[in-house]
Amino acid sequence: MMDFFGRLLEYIERLWPFRPVEAWERGFYIVFSKPMKEVGQGIWPVIPYFTDVLVVPIAEARLTTPMLNIVLQNGKRLAFSVSARVKVVDVKKALIVVSTYQETTGEEVAAFIADFLADAKPDRLTSAIRRKNLIIEAVRELNNRTIEYGVEVIEIQFTNWIEDIKTYRLLNDSSLSPPSLTW
């Protein structure tokens, strides 16, 4: 019985001729399945089945990577994780260019930073200040990738940094899980 009422409410919501866009969101009209004009905060009229307003949060969000293990150029092992501040800067690209912009951004940050650190000269990783300068450079390069689907990486911080660690793999390893997203 509850399933029936849930579906009934969903149907009524789909037929409702207005779509809200909150202050922390941006939206754009879809007219006959084509993306059209971007809209801001407010209540926007739609014609059910012919037009709609798709909405994306544009407030800054934070994503974290699981613990990642790499081998540096000098042969040492490094275990690290990062936390990144990100935001959507192009609503249409975020919804149209990639399937899920949140998951794609998390995977892109994890993969890019792992490759970037593995290719970095070992002397650039010796102190926190040198790592900070390195990560500023990494953010610029990472933004060249993420801007293609409308997301900007604002800042990256290391949450874990463990050098010369022996790595033992267990059957249930948390590093195999996808990045956690808070958007």
Whether 85 and 154 have beta carbons less than 8 Å apart is answered as: yes
Q: How far is CA 68 from CA 8, 13, 123, 162, 182, in A?
A: 45, 43, 20, 10, 19
Residue with tokens 């390195």: 134
Q: Give the C-alpha separation, 105 to 86, whole Å.
A: 9
Using one digit for the tens of pLDDT, what is the confidence trace for 21-61? Answer: 999 999 999 999 899 999 999 999 999 889 999 999 999 99
Phi, psi of 168, deg, nearest 5: -120, 130
- 99's tokens: 């399937």
Total residues belonging to the chain: 183
Residue with tokens 């004009």: 37
Band the pLDDT of 142: cuts 50, 70, 90.
very high
Domains and CATH numbers, the chain: 2-57 (no CATH), 61-181 (3.30.479.30)
Of 4-13, 130-139, 156-165, where does mean pLDDT reach its minimum?
Answer: 4-13
Question: Which pTM was predicted?
Answer: 0.78
